[in-house]
Structure 1
Amino acid sequence: MNEENNELLAALDAQPTVEVGAVVTGEVLAIDNDRQVVIGIDGTGVEGVIPVRELTSDRDANVEDLVKVGDKIEAVVKMPVTSETTGYSYILSKKALDARRAWEEAASKLTEGEIVEAPVSQVVKGGLVVDVNGVRGFIPASMIENRFVQDLNQYKGQTVKAKIIELNASENRLILSRRDVLNEERSAALARIFDTMAVGDVVEGKVARMTNFGAFIDLGGVDGLVHVSEISHERVSQPSDVLSVGEVVKVKVLGLDKDKERISLSIKATQPGPWQKAAEEAPEGTVLEGTVKRVVDFGAFVEVFPGVEGLVHVSQISHKHVENPSDVLTAGEKVQVKVLDVNPDKQRLSLSIKALQEAPAREERSSSNNSNNNSGERRSNNGGNRRGGNNNRRNNAPMNYSTTEEEGSATLGDLFNLKDFD
């Protein structure tokens, strides 16, 4: 009898000890009426049980969809069962084992500086709650973007890339930064762009965001700025009046500043300019309707196309003498003009209003001369003196005199022969 007792004690001593916190492997023996998974712990001869709350975080999950009788499963020993009526020796937890391994993996990624993909499970006031392989993590609002974000709800349901920057498993504290990932991606994109892109290149980009002073265009991880003055040839008050976020646009590279990491872009430089349109649609002789934009001492500027203004010189306003253009024209007035000359390279357009008006009738010069001669003869007959003779010569003086070098440089003394007054 003593020998049998000794053999029994020796057999019991040979059984592996099941310790709380240890990881054990076992076979699923059954799923009981309380939705608990009964496990035969390998090498121990005892059974453990995994309650549904220790199997999954989904309270509505169907246990039979998660495990089947005969499956092999690993779990953590949480505690011994104190009641002898249950028939089980230990409470096990698969969820705790998954969390432990997730913390270990997270610690490894923190050490290696690796990127994790984390679904956003909740948006709170201070940031985003994410799931990192079963571990609850948090991305503070300041760590979401490399710029200020007004509305965090846009991230709900998304899976974001982030880096673990702080970890404390004992306090269940896991802090991540998406901004660090974006900064690294931006640095790589900047290096690529500055190596491959040159001033004058035309590329495609997507409108990322807009401000009062312009629009930021995503060129593939890097934003370039289109100033409001470079959006269109026409005047733009607000970028949002002509662009929308997400819109794909063509842009021309105006400037690359590697030191300041700035890229200057233009949308209007990729579009035909208004002066090109003017040259094509309004050659010399074209009649257009325009709007007087402003009146100056030497004429008036008339807009004939959006962004194209031409000058009506004071001499081209009317066949009548115009002393002050503002006496004839006013800003905002609609007028018909004729194109006299167009120079798109110098952005100059010469216009005429009087070219579309009928010239006033002019008396024959011979009739005018005859009248003058008759008048002179009457004065001569009445006076017959030296002064009368001089008057005849003044009236008969040539009217088409010129002061150019080609046609001579006659003076008034030459014309009237002042020695006759001696």
Structure 2
Amino acid sequence: MSTVSKSSEQQLDRNALAALYEETFKNLEEGTITEGRVVALTKDKVVVDIGYKSEGMIPSDQFAAEELQQLKVGDRLQVYIEECEDADGNLVLSKEKADKMKIWEELEKLYKEEKSIDGKVVSRIKGGMMVDIGVKAFLPGSQIDLHPVRDLDGLVGRTFPMKIIKINHRRGNVVVSRRVLLEETRDKKRQSTLATLKEGQLIQGMVKNITDYGAFIDLGGIDGLLHITDMSWGRVGHPSEMFNVGDRVEVSVLKYDRETGRISLGLKQKSADPWTNVAGKYPIGTRVRGKVVSLTDYGAFVELEPGVEGLVHVSEMSWTHEVRHPSRVVAIGDQVEAAVLNVDPASRKISLGMKQTAPNPWDMVESKYPIGTRIEGKVKSLTDFGAFVGLDEGIDGLIHISDMSWTKHIKHPSELFKKGQKVEAVVLRIDKEKERLSLGYKQLSRDPWDDEIPSRYRVGDSAAGKVSKVADFGIFIELDGGVEGLIHVSEAGLDPSAKLEEKFKLQDDVAAKIIKVDRDERKIALSLRDHQLDSERRHVEEYHAAQGAPDQSLGRAAKQSRKRAAQDDDK
């Protein structure tokens, strides 16, 4: 064989060997992940053989301290090929990038398969929270919970299952949601709850929200309303008196409308209605004790037991009849004693009386204040028709305006009495059934009409006084001693067209003739016309007496006047 030929064969052998040598290495690409074996550990590097012509070096700081302590020669690692050969011909590997690459691959797989992942809330940022799921992810505020969360800072450091709703590996952008999982869980619970829900069922729930009119109970993915009226047989001022948000409670399903999805719940229905045996437990006349739970203008509601209340009307609080508002007698929270007056189970009403627990002073009034007794008391109030006088034990008596004076025409009680004034009076009448006591003030003195007035004021005499009242039918004249007389319009001696109020004013001095004294009616009739005729007659008589010739014309006129007065009285 020639030298040239031999040289060519050797060159072919070297090329073949080089090719065979190259084939022994893996087909590696930069930017990919491959598996390698740890061949050496130094203070600051980990040497890894990935089957390439040279080993790669990974800085030790890419390993966690615990992980680095457990690492040993021969362990296998997933590494990221950054460069097959750098400027110095070295193979550059990265465990950190391999881990992140692996995480992104796992995240993308979870995203495609719509599976959840645990995320730890790291910090609060604008619009939501930063979450660690292997890489930093954004949790929007609207995706944190089913309802707005007030204390976002309280979530930091906590771990929750979440779902990836958006991912972009190239931009390193991941958005997660906790709400999506909560909605899925809620929907599953709802379907399970609705499948078994029925009226009359007892079911466990959690207080989700409290309002003025009730509490919303989460029954498991679906809410029911426990109305305030169905919380207790007793009185509930506000649902917060019984529940706090988050409380666990067992309730009864009162009504379930499958079309609207509305569920009405009850708590009091778990126990028997206390009104079932109220009539037997509280018969009429029974003495009871209870707590005042509410006041109104017309009375006080007293709780006899949870769910059973009775009303003490303001008129049944005291025998004195002076209670204008219940708050003057009782206050909320007071323990009171009362008597059962009436029971109406159908209307769920019990009438109570507090005054019935004490003796009725009207039962003793006849024996304590017999008719004719002189009493003393204070004027409590004045009305147009009389004065109320308070006696012992809350008994009020009335001095009617007609029983204030024998002689004087009283227009209003204030002419004689003032509120708070001490007065004496005489008991005239007692009506125990209507609880009325009639008193007389004028009866303290003898009736002057018996003999004094008839003897003092005689028919035919003249009387002087002052105008006390002008009416359409005549003029009242107050005579000496406070006695009133009436000048009828027909006895005023005026022209028919004249008006009394134009001719007579209050307190005008008037002299008239007494033409009638009626002891039974206590009336004195006066005549101004007769008085004028008598005066004229006297003057004429005096004139004729001086001339020696009497005149009879005025005598006849006076007789005719008295005849007309008698006819007017008959009318």
Task: Provide TM-score, normalisation by structure 1.
Answer: 0.68
* Equivalent residue number for residue 102 of structure 1: 103
Structure 1 or 2, whichever has the larger Rg, is 2
Q: Write the distance in 2 (CA, Å) between the matches of 1:328 and 1:20.
A: 93
Q: What is the match of residue 256 of structure 1?
A: 256
User: 1:26 aligned to 2:36?
Assistant: yes
Q: Root-mean-square deviation (CA), in Å?
A: 3.8
- Residue 170 of structure 1 and its aligned partner are, at CA, apart by 0.4
> Aligned pair in 2 of structure 1 residues 353, 242: CA closer, same or farther (>3 Å)?
closer
Q: CA deviation at 1:269?
A: 4.2
The percentage of aligned residue pairs carrying the same residue is 32
Cα distance in 1 between the residues matched to 2:14 and 2:229: 99
In the alignment, does 2:38 pair up with 1:40?
no
1:328-339 paired onto structure 2 within 5 Å = 330=328, 332=330, 335-339=336-340
Corresponding residue of 2:509: none
Q: 1:137–1:173: 8 Å Cα contact kept in structure 2? A: yes
Q: Please say if residues 251 and 266 of structure 1, whose CA atoms lie closer than 8 Å, have aligned partners that are also in contact.
A: yes
SS in 2 for 1:107: helix
The code of the aligned residue for 1:32 comes to T
C-alpha displacement of 1:304: 3.4
State the shift of 1:102 in Å. Answer: 2.9
Match of 1:77 among 70, 81, 85: 81
- Deviation, 1:226, is 3.4
Where do residues 122-271 of structure 1 align in structure 2 (5 Å cutoff)?
Answer: 122-132=123-133, 134-210=134-210, 214-228=214-228, 230-232=230-232, 233-237=234-238, 239=240, 241-270=241-270
Counterpart CA distance in 1 for 2:354 and 2:345 is 21
Residues 302 and 309 in structure 2, CA contact (< 8 A), matched pair in contact too: yes
CA distance in 2, matches of 1:272, 1:280: 16
Tell me which residue corresponds to 1:373.
Answer: none
Query: AA paired with 2:348?
Result: Q
Match of 1:63 among 55, 64, 68: 68
CA spacing shift, 1:62–1:99, aligned 2, 3 Å: closer
Contact 1:295 1:331 (C-alpha < 8 Å) held by counterparts: no
**What SS does structure 2 have at the residue aligned with 1:170?**
coil
Q: Give the SS at the match of 1:194.
A: helix
- Bigger mean CA deviation after superposition, 224-233 or 10-19: 224-233
Deviation at residue 332 of structure 1 after TM alignment: 3.2
Q: Is 1:304 the equivalent of 2:321?
A: no
* Amino acid across the alignment from 2:69: E
Against the structure 1 CA distance between its residues 248 and 119, is the aligned structure 2 distance closer, same or farther, given a 3 Å change threshold?
same
Counterpart-to-counterpart distance in 1, 2:235 and 2:184 = 38
After superposition, the Cα gap between the structure-2 partners of 1:47 and 1:279, relative to the gap in structure 1 and judged at 3 Å, is: farther
Q: Work out the CA distance in 2 between the residues paired with 1:136 and 1:314.
A: 72
Contact kept, 8 Å, 1:145 with 1:178, in 2: the verdict is: yes
Q: Which of 3, 14, 18 is matched with 1:9 structurally?
A: 18
Give the whole-Å Cα distance in 1 for the aligned partners of 2:99 and 2:191: 40
Q: CA deviation at 1:45?
A: 3.7
Per the alignment, in what secondary structure is the counterpart of residue 199 of structure 2? coil
Counterpart of 2:58? Answer: 50
Over residues 258-292 of structure 1, what are the superposed CA-to-partner deviations in whole Å (9 max), with x where a residue is unaligned?
45544343444446667579779756523325548
Describe the shift of the 1:350–1:186 C-alpha distance in structure 2 as closer, same or farther (beyond 3 A). Answer: same
Checking the alignment, whether the CA contact within 8 Å between 2:323 and 2:329 is kept in structure 1 is no
- Aligned ranges 1:263-412 → 2 under 5 Å: 263-270=263-270, 285-291=286-292, 293-296=295-298, 300-305=299-304, 308-312=308-312, 326=324, 330=328, 332=330, 335-342=336-343, 346-359=347-360, 360-361=363-364
Unaligned runs of 5+ in 1: 369-422
d(CA) in 2 for partners of 1:203, 1:343: 34
Report the CA distance shift for 1:283/1:119 in structure 2 as closer, same or farther (over 3 A). farther
TM-score, scaled relative to structure 2: 0.52
Which one scores higher on RCO, CA 8 angstroms, separation ≥ 6? 1
Q: Note the alpha carbon deviations across 1:181-211, whole angstroms, 9 max, x for none.
A: 2222222222222221123322222234445
Matched residue type, 2:47: V
Aligned to 2:504: none
Decide whether the 8 Å contact of 1:26 with 1:73 is kept in 2.
Answer: yes
Cα 1:7/1:302, change in 2 over 3 Å: closer
Deviation at residue 337 of structure 1 after TM alignment:
0.7
Q: 1:307 to 1:141 in 2, by over 3 A?
A: same
Does the CA contact (< 8 Å) of 2:80 and 2:98 recur in 1? yes
**Which residue identity does 1:47 align to in structure 2?**
E
Query: Offset of 1:140 from its aligned partner?
Result: 0.6
What is the CA-CA distance between 1:141 and the residue it aligns to?
0.7
- Quote the residue 1:90 is aligned against: 91
Q: Which moved more, 1:350-359 or 1:73-82?
A: 350-359
| Residue pair 1:302, 1:312 contacting (<8 A) in 2 also | yes
Read off the aligned partner of 2:14 and give its amino acid letter.
N
C-alpha spacing 1:161/1:76, structure 2 compared with 1 (3 Å): same
- State whether residues 250 and 270 of structure 1, in contact with CA within 8 Å, keep that contact through their aligned partners in structure 2: no
Q: Secondary structure at the match of 2:150?
A: coil
Look up the match of 2:453.
Answer: none
CA shift digits 1:222-279 (9 cap, x unpaired) = 343434555554333462x543343222223344344554434344444666757977
Deviation of the 1:75 alpha carbon = 1.5
Secondary structure of the residue that 2:39 maps to in structure 1? strand
CA distance in 1, matches of 2:180, 2:97: 30
Question: Once the 2 structures are TM-superposed, how far is the Cα of residue 172 of structure 1 from its aligned partner?
Answer: 0.9
> What amino acid does structure 2 have at the position aligned with 1:46?
S
Q: Which moved more, 1:351-360 or 1:225-234?
A: 225-234
Gaps of 5+ in 2: 1-9, 372-571
Task: Give how far 1:142 is off.
Answer: 0.7
Q: Is the 8 A contact 2:210 2:239 kept in 1?
A: no
- Structure 2 counterpart of 1:376: none
Give the letter for the 2:128 counterpart. Answer: G
Counterpart of 2:491 in structure 1 is none
User: What secondary structure sits across from 2:302 in the alignment?
Assistant: strand
Alpha-carbon offset, residue 39 of structure 1: 0.8
Structure 1 CA distance for aligned equivalents of residues 314 and 151 of structure 2: 58
* Equivalent residues of 2:86, 2:92 under 8 A apart: no
Secondary structure of the structure 1 residue equivalent to 2:170: helix
Note closer, same or farther for the CA distance 1:96–1:324 as it changes in structure 2 (3 Å cut).
same
The 8 Å contact of residues 205 and 248 in structure 2, kept in 1 or not, is answered as yes
Distance 1:74 1:289, change over 3 A: closer
User: Contact between 1:27 and 1:40, CA under 8 Å: does it hold in 2?
Assistant: yes
Q: Please state how far the C-alpha of 1:77 moved relative to its aligned partner.
A: 0.6
| Residues 143 and 177, structure 1, Cα contact 8 Å, conserved in 2 | yes
